[in-house]
């Protein structure tokens, strides 16, 4: 990084922090955040939403609010392994480790008849549970994961 780039870096960080705080203020203005929502909405999370919405604070806040609502509707705060004991024992879903770029690798083994015996809601909750476990293993600066669906018999 050249001298000019280094000189502009603190300004950029300050600007990013201001935008991130503006997103959080808009969220809190709508409704107070729970402790777990505050933890979820860390700087890296808010920055991802800002990048996804072209640094537009209002759009990022709206999208993040929708994400928090969806997480609440799924019940991510109440997901526990016991709910999926049969699926986990059968190896339907698991975190298989990390690739060479430290991204968690998740495997889902879906048989063709799975939907006949299980609800879409249960599958969605299993998917979210596995994603939450994988995300919990991610190193600090890793923002991607690998998701493999095995539909073979």
74-114 pLDDT, tens digit per residue, is 999 899 999 999 889 989 899 999 999 999 999 998 876 66
Q: Are residues 11 and 57 in the same domain?
A: yes
Residues 134-149: pLDDT tens digits? 988 988 888 899 999 9
Q: Total structural domains in the chain?
A: 2
pLDDT for the residue 5: 47
Secondary structure (DSSP) of 64-77 = HHHHHHHHHHHTGG
The model's pLDDT over 4-15, given as tens digits with 9 standing for 90+, comes to 544 545 555 666
Strand order through the sheet with 104-109: 93-98, 104-109, 146-150
Same domain, 91 and 58: no
β-sheet bridge partners, residue 94: 107
Which tokens hold the place of 109?
Answer: 């083994």
Domain that holds residue 8: 3-77
Q: Are residues 40 and 67 in the same domain?
A: yes
Interhelix angle for 43-52 vs 3-30, to 10°? 90
Torsion of CA 129, 130, 131, 136, to 10 degrees: 90
Looking at the structure, do residues 143 and 87 belong to the same domain, yes or no?
yes
**Dihedrals phi, psi of 151, to nearest 5 degrees:** -105, 15
Q: What is the pLDDT of residues 51-76, one digit of tens each?
A: 999 999 999 999 999 999 999 999 99
The reply to whether 96 and 66 lie within a common domain is: no
Rounded to an integer, the average pLDDT of 19-23 is 94
């Amino acid at each position: 990084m050249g001298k000019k780039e280094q000189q502009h870096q603190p300004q950029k960080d300050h600007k990013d922090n201001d935008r991130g705080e503006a997103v959080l203020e808009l969220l809190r203005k709508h409704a107070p955040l729970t402790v777990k929502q505050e933890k979820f909405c860390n700087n890296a999370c808010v920055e991802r939403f800002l990048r996804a919405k072209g640094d537009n604070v209002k759009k990022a806040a709206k999208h993040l609010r929708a994400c928090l609502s969806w997480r609440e509707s799924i019940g991510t705060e109440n997901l526990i392994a016991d709910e999926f004991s049969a699926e986990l024992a059968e190896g339907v879903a698991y975190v298989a480790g990390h690739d060479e770029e430290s991204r968690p690798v998740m495997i889902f083994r879906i048989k063709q008849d799975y939907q006949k015996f299980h609800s879409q809601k249960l599958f969605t909750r299993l998917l979210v549970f596995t994603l939450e476990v994988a995300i919990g293993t991610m190193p600090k600066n890793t923002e991607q994961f690998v998701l493999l669906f095995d539909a073979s018999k």
